[in-house]
Structure 1
Amino acid sequence: MTHPPQEQHVHQLTYGDIKAATDRIAGRVRPVTLTRLDEGAVRTGHRDPLDERPEQPCEVWLALEFMQHTGSFKARGAANFLQAHRDAGTLPDAGVTIASGGNAGLACAWAAQAQGVRATVFLPETAPEVKVARLRSYGADVRLTGAEYAEAAAACEGYAASSGALASHAYDHPLIAAGAGTLMEEIHQQLPDLDTVVVAVGGGGLFAGVATAAQQYGIRTVAVEPEHCRALHAALAAGHPVDVPVNSVAADSLGARRTSTMALHAAQQDHVTSVLVSDDDIVHARQTLWDHRRLAVEHGAATALAALLAPDQGGRELGLAARRATPSRSYRPGNGEKVCVVLCGANTNTATLTHP
């Protein structure tokens, strides 16, 4: 007898979940492309004055996950979520529903179209027409409800209960996070001697998946958040998920008010470093990618790179407990360290990039 995928929230994501997801969505998503930054493009920060060896540049790679279906990593989780239910025979005729006008909504609509089932996506009436049009291009039934996201989310919940549609989530579900973790499996296959992976954190689905897979291989994970969208950092300081205010240029993709328990558990493991960056640093990193590589990414994706480019400002403006949790506003690779920065999405307004 086939049992339906686990639906309740879990405290821990396992590497086995990610391996299962890797097999499940093979051939359904685009393999990630990696590209190396120029030699010496990013160098180490402070050197020990007693070390007389010549300085060695670190080796930095970019994971171009923004080239994924729908323009972000979210396609991995959505594909895993729906395929798992298809395999278990628990994908209802009513299809799937989600409240999200962002990357998660797009990915859900795309994955549903690939499965030949209906996606019903709830958005507030204030949603930009461009988002509505793109969702409809994937065949979604778009329902505009209420003036705020909370009202759309409540309508989505009610619709799932009344219609029997499968309710999806943007990040707080083991199948969603495991799908995101398949990205780390692909990175490790291409860079088996990788030391560190750097990833932006919003609600924590991508981070939980990537960190869980990285832990399997002894790879350090650097979790980067905007200083005013710090749901994971706040959870680490409190010891449990807490609500945080959201105010950042990257809030459209990283603006979760509360991180998942899965993400907190992953962050409490060894080889995880939490970093906060300013909006100015995020904007600079995004512009730098455009100026030097002609890569147009969303602010959420640039947040990861900002950790390497930002000046080391230590624990400025943080309280004692927060400084103990994360004393740095940047990440400085060591001499010869091999680092991969995940550029997770590119659903952005390119008009906000300057064109020198």
Structure 2
Amino acid sequence: MDLPVTPETIKAAHARIAPHVRRTPLMAADPFAGAHVTFKLELLQHAGSFKTRGAFNTLLGGVVPPAGVTAASGGNHGIATALAARRLGYEARIFVPEISSPVKIAAIRAQGAEVVVGGARYADAQEACDRFAAESGALKIHPYDAVGTLEGQGTVALEWEEDQARLGLAPIETVLVAVGGGGLAAGMAGFWGGRVKVVAVEPEGSRCLHAALEAGEPVDVPVESVAADSLGARRVGALPFAIARAAIDHVALVQDSAIRDAQKRLWADYRIASEPGGAAALAALLSGAYQPRPGERVGVLLCGGNVDPATLATL
């Protein structure tokens, strides 16, 4: 089937956003479960997560109305949208749920955006954002279910492939990617198109992609996870779902305890400060939710670092 994003559109997005985003590094990790593991440190991106790519691509690829921009977010997408809007000279209003961490809300405000608490969960904030966009005419930047967002997130895969070659490293065979609404995994799968096995990783308590693949269509799921502020979408996006059916190998489910263990491992062994959602992909490898072949070349995307450092000492 024809996918809504392609390697060509992702390459165009990368050319568009390259002056505005950080080309995040690769890092050879210790062997895990008999696999050769490479981290991509996307948690070092501007605003602390991959979300900055989709935000800049959307703003640079369209027309921004006088009312400015708006977005709903558990935190990371809001920080990224606020940063991109400020740097490009636009006003931004960000709707967040009550479960958003104070660290992330403070980071949104620090970028100069107005923050509005839009309900108990992410879906409630998205509904409030939709109403505001309809009433004001503001440009809505969707965190995962829009072509511009998917193209921006897919640039992670493009950089990864280029930098493996530039560093003289063998290409990765499999990549583990955390899923909230599905935009990151889908964008990367759209670039690789089967050349790399993309494994989506979801918390047991927030499994919208897993449920959709079982049901054959996007469905609502309950959300209760330590990573809910970044991986807490109630329903997978329609565009990510279409790509997932065609180009994502499978979903690995991880328990909250495994996510916390992965956070602890990243901090103890590498001094990498990851939020729970950012550590979810590694949790799949550490817990055995994904079991690599001996010697398999596995990429692990560390996608978000907006965490209060004080909490790392309590893990």
TM-score normalised according to structure 2 size = 0.90
Aligned to 2:111: 138
Aligned to 2:33: 43
Q: Which amino acid aligns with 2:29?
A: L
Counterpart selection for 1:202 from 153, 176, 180:
180
**Residue 182 (structure 2) pairs with residue 190 (structure 1):** no
Q: Which amino acid aligns with 1:140?
A: A
In structure 1, C-alpha distance between the alignment counterparts of 2:23 and 2:85, rounded to whole Å: 20
C-alpha offsets along residues 93-119 of structure 1, whole Å, 9 cap, x if unaligned?
Answer: 221011225101111110101111111
Q: Which amino acid aligns with 1:134?
A: A
**Residue 308 (structure 2) pairs with residue 335 (structure 1):** no
Q: CA deviation at 1:12?
A: 3.2
Contact 1:220–1:273 (CA under 8 A) maintained in structure 2: no
In structure 1, C-alpha distance between the alignment counterparts of 2:296 and 2:123, rounded to whole Å: 44
In structure 2, C-alpha distance between the alignment counterparts of 1:138 and 1:148, rounded to whole Å: 23
Contact 1:219–1:271 (CA under 8 A) maintained in structure 2: no
In structure 2, C-alpha distance between the alignment counterparts of 1:128 and 1:304, rounded to whole Å: 21
Q: Which sits farther off after the overlay, 229-238 or 121-130?
A: 121-130
**Residue 94 (structure 2) pairs with residue 94 (structure 1):** no
Aligned to 2:242: 265
In structure 2, C-alpha distance between the alignment counterparts of 1:125 and 1:234, rounded to whole Å: 25
Contact 1:25–1:76 (CA under 8 A) maintained in structure 2: yes
Contact 2:103–2:306 (CA under 8 A) maintained in structure 1: no
Aligned to 1:303: 280
In structure 2, C-alpha distance between the alignment counterparts of 1:344 and 1:82, rounded to whole Å: 21
Aligned to 1:121: 94
**Residue 224 (structure 2) pairs with residue 250 (structure 1):** no
Contact 2:123–2:233 (CA under 8 A) maintained in structure 1: no
Aligned to 2:262: 285
Q: CA deviation at 1:267?
A: 2.0
Q: Which sits farther off after the overlay, 169-178 or 115-124?
A: 115-124
Contact 2:273–2:309 (CA under 8 A) maintained in structure 1: yes
Q: CA deviation at 1:271?
A: 6.0
Contact 2:204–2:254 (CA under 8 A) maintained in structure 1: yes
Q: Could you say what secondary structure the match of 1:19 adopts?
A: helix
Q: Could you say what secondary structure the match of 2:301 adopts?
A: strand
Counterpart selection for 1:223 from 173, 190, 200:
200
TM-score normalised according to structure 1 size = 0.81
In structure 2, C-alpha distance between the alignment counterparts of 1:263 and 1:347, rounded to whole Å: 24
Q: Which sits farther off after the overlay, 218-227 or 153-162?
A: 153-162
Aligned to 1:59: 36
Q: Which amino acid aligns with 2:178?
A: A
Q: CA deviation at 1:269?
A: 2.4
- Shift of the 338–105 alpha-carbon distance from structure 1 to 2, 3 Å rule, reads same
Higher-Rg structure is: 1
Identity %: 48
Structure that is richer in helix per residue: 2
Contact 1:298–1:347 (CA under 8 A) maintained in structure 2: yes
In structure 2, C-alpha distance between the alignment counterparts of 1:306 and 1:299, rounded to whole Å: 10
Q: Could you say what secondary structure the match of 1:305 adopts?
A: helix
Aligned to 2:146: 173
* Structure 2, gaps ≥5 residues long: 166-170
**Residue 16 (structure 2) pairs with residue 24 (structure 1):** yes
Aligned to 1:108: 81
Aligned to 1:33: 25
C-alpha offsets along residues 244-280 of structure 1, whole Å, 9 cap, x if unaligned?
Answer: 1111111111011111122222222256132111111
Q: Which amino acid aligns with 1:42?
A: F
Q: Could you say what secondary structure the match of 1:94 adopts?
A: coil
Q: Could you say what secondary structure the match of 1:191 adopts?
A: helix
Q: Which amino acid aligns with 1:95?
A: G
Q: Which amino acid aligns with 2:187?
A: G
How many residue pairs end up in the alignment?
A: 309
Q: CA deviation at 1:161?
A: 2.4
Q: Which amino acid aligns with 1:344?
A: C
Q: CA deviation at 1:148?
A: 6.2
Q: Which amino acid aligns with 2:275?
A: E
Counterpart selection for 2:190 from 212, 221, 235:
212
C-alpha offsets along residues 216-262 of structure 1, whole Å, 9 cap, x if unaligned?
Answer: 6x111111111121111111111111111111111111011111122
In structure 1, C-alpha distance between the alignment counterparts of 2:248 and 2:257, rounded to whole Å: 27
**Residue 218 (structure 2) pairs with residue 241 (structure 1):** yes
Q: Which amino acid aligns with 2:205?
A: H
Q: Which amino acid aligns with 1:334?
A: R
* Structure 1, gaps ≥5 residues long: 1-9, 45-57, 312-329
In structure 1, C-alpha distance between the alignment counterparts of 2:304 and 2:122, rounded to whole Å: 21
